[in-house]
């Protein structure tokens, strides 16, 4: 299911939830009422400018008093429109922020520069997560480093993700499909690449995805390639070229020089240590450190996978 569901609007992303439709309706009202106001004001201005253009040097503007009815209307009508927008906006916002009871809860962890997801049964996903259709889902979110923001345009909902505390958002997807997730708070070099996907599937498919072993039947090197794609790609190239961190090509088996330690050969243990505790030894040329600590985040299977994957990048 790779194609995203399509909504009726040509200007907005697909509508993946009921709330998305109500956000769009409000937005359309704003757009149309602003357009009509703009036409009335600018049109009136042009009309009167032409109608009352000075005809001769002797033209004199007559004394104009006021018009109570006109002044009342041009104040009262906009007031009514603003109140409609305010009340309508308040209702939609309230729906967006009122957390449902008995929702399916998924923990979301943001870090430079990826998203990972943890389900109640311990199943972890990275870069993509799965939810059942027509089910209230509550995301409980935190960050391991800086401020991020979790945004699903198709669901018209976003929420800041903050280190040291939890924030939440909820949605109830009513369309099957895969929808894009963005980070929408500038969080460093690779902010624009901090992406994920939400897959809305049937309940049966959801149960199956949750019960399945994530890397069933995959060889370690393929597991490594998958983990690389989800967790390492933002900062490390598969070429030797420098990115935020060192390129991976030719890294395995090579002598590594450090800013703050004796050189060592990049063997299995070195790779493992550098992933789990990356800031203990800082590679020469990268004195800032700052790589996310992956201790507790990757399974032994995933670590082995990455090591095998690195070995193939000769």
Residues at the interface with ligand CUA (CB under 6 A): 110, 148, 183, 185-187, 191, 194
Tell me the C-alpha to C-alpha distance, in Å, between residue 106 and each of 118, 202, 243. Answer: 6, 17, 32
Minimum CB–partner distance for residue 193 and ligand CUA (Å):
9
Q: Which is nearer to ligand CUA, 33 or 107 (CB)?
A: 107
* CA nearest to 101, candidates 132, 139, 131, 136: 136
Q: Using the minimum distance from each CB to ligand CUA, give the nearer residue, 130 or 183.
A: 183
Cis peptide before 113 (omega within 30 of 0): yes
Nearest-approach distance from CB 263 to ligand CUA, in angstroms: 34
Smallest separation, CB 180 to ligand CUA (Å) = 14
Compute how many other C-beta atoms are within 10 angstroms of the C-beta atom of residue 65: 5
φ/ψ of 168, rounded to 5, equals -140, 150
Distance separating alpha carbons of residues 275 and 208, to the nearest angstrom: 31
Nearer to ligand CUA, 24 or 185 (CB): 185
Q: Which is nearer to ligand CUA, 192 or 279 (CB)?
A: 192
Q: How far is the CB of 245 from ligand CUA (least distance, A)?
A: 17
Least distance CB 190 / ligand CUA (angstroms): 8
Helix H or strand E segment including 93 = helix 68-97
Give whichever of 76 and 186 is closer to ligand CUA, judged by the CB atom. Answer: 186
Question: Which of residues 13 and 110 has its CB atom nearest to ligand CUA in the complex?
Answer: 110
Query: Nearer Cβ to ligand CUA, position 157 or 174?
Result: 157
Query: Least CB distance from residue 194 to ligand CUA, whole Å?
Result: 4
Sequence length of the chain is: 314
Alpha carbon distance 170, 173 (integer Å): 10
49: tokens are: 């400018």
Cα(227)–Cα(275) distance, integer angstroms: 12
Q: Closer to ligand CUA by CB, 198 or 225: give it.
A: 198
Cα distances from 169 to residues 18, 63, 141, 152, 248, in angstroms, run 15, 59, 8, 10, 37
Distance CA 265, CA 31 (A): 62
Torsion of CA 269, 273, 274, 280, to 10 degrees: -130
Residues paired with residue 136 on neighbouring β-strands, in sequence order: 172
User: Rounded to whole angstroms, how far apart are CA atoms 43 and 203?
Assistant: 55
Minimum Å gap between C-beta 166 and ligand CUA is 17
Strand partners, 197: 128, 180
Residue 160 CB, nearest approach to ligand CUA (Å): 10
């Amino acid at each position: 299911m790779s194609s995203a569901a399509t909504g009726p609007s040509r200007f907005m992303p697909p509508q993946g939830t009921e709330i998305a439709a109500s956000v769009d309706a409000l937005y359309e009202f704003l757009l149309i009422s602003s357009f009509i106001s703009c036409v009335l004001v600018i049109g009136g201005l042009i009309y009167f400018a032409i109608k009352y253009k000075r005809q001769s040097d002797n033209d004199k503007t007559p004394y104009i008093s006021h018009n109570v009815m006109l002044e009342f209307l041009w104040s009262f009508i906009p007031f009514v429109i603003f109140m409609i927008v305010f009340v309508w906006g308040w209702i939609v916002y309230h729906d967006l922020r009122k957390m449902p009871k008995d929702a399916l809860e998924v923990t979301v962890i943001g870090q430079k520069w990826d998203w990972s997801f943890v389900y109640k049964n311990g199943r972890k996903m990275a870069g993509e997560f799965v939810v059942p259709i027509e089910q209230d889902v509550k995301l409980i979110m935190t960050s391991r480093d800086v401020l991020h923001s979790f945004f699903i345009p198709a669901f018209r909902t976003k929420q800041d993700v903050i280190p040291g505390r939890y924030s939440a958002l909820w949605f109830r997807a009513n369309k099957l499909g895969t929808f894009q997730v963005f980070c929408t708070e500038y969080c460093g070099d690779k902010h624009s690449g901090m992406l994920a996907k939400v897959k809305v599937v049937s309940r049966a498919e959801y149960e199956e995805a949750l019960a399945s072993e994530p890397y069933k039947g995959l060889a370690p090197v393929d597991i490594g390639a998958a983990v690389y794609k989800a967790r390492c790609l933002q900062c490390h190239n598969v070429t030797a070229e420098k990115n935020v961190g060192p390129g991976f090509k030719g890294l395995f088996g090579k002598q590594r020089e450090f800013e703050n330690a004796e050189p060592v050969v990049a063997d299995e243990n070195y790779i493992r240590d550098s992933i789990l505790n990356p800031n203990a030894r800082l590679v020469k040329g990268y004195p800032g450190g700052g790589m996310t600590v992956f201790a507790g985040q990757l399974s032994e299977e995933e670590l082995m996978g990455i090591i095998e994957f690195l070995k193939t990048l000769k």
